[in-house]
A = this chain, B = another copy of it.
Amino acid sequence: MNIGAAARASGVSAKMIRHYEQIGLLPAPARRTSGYRDYDTADLHRLRFVRRARDLGFPLDRIADLLRLWSDRDRSNADVKAIALAHLADLDRQVRLLHEMADVLRALADACDGDGRPHCPIIAGLDGDVLAPGHCHEAGSATSSPPRPGAPSGILR
């Protein structure tokens, strides 16, 4: 089948299929005389594997590892589990981080009347102005320990 059909059948966009082929994640499929790519069932199977792994947030280089293990009949499930657990730790870390951010922000937003006046605990919080009136103590202390978005390591893009 052509790339568009493969994309629809796998949930991986044509653009991404080409990209994955280009970076070596996927083998190049057969080509028709027209130059069009021709995907067979094994290709499709592989694409679906990639789709599912992406859906779980695995980065591409980990997916490459998983694909290798998938096709290795002598694989050790311990290797697979190690990859999965490392990624799981990542996911949990991100959840924690985002949760902390959300909590801080929620407290600031809750402290804001949103009545159209200039005074705003959110702004005060970002200002680092712990002497702001009203819910100043909560807002101030909340922004003193927010988590920090790190270097490119996010699961979602």
Binding site for B on A (CB under 8 A): 45, 48-49, 52-57, 66, 69-70, 72-78, 80-82, 84-85, 87-88, 91-92, 94-95, 97-99, 101-102, 104-106, 108-109, 112-120, 122-123, 125-128, 143, 146-157
Contacts and interface: CB of A to CB of B under 8 A. Distances in A.
Secondary structure at the A interface, as helix, strand, loop or mixed, is helix
A52 to B, nearest CB: 5
Contacts of A75: 118, 120, 123
26 contacts: A49-B127, A52-B128, A54-B149, A55-B101, A55-B143, A55-B149, A66-B123, A69-B123, A72-B118, A77-B113, A77-B120, A77-B122, A78-B114, A80-B123, A81-B109, A87-B105, A92-B102, A94-B156, A95-B95, A98-B98, A101-B155, A151-B157, A152-B157, A153-B156, A156-B156, A157-B157
B116 A66 contact: no
B155 A52 contact: no
Given A54-B148, A84-B108, 9 more contacts: A52-B126, A52-B143, A57-B101, A66-B126, A72-B118, A77-B114, A84-B112, A92-B102, A94-B98
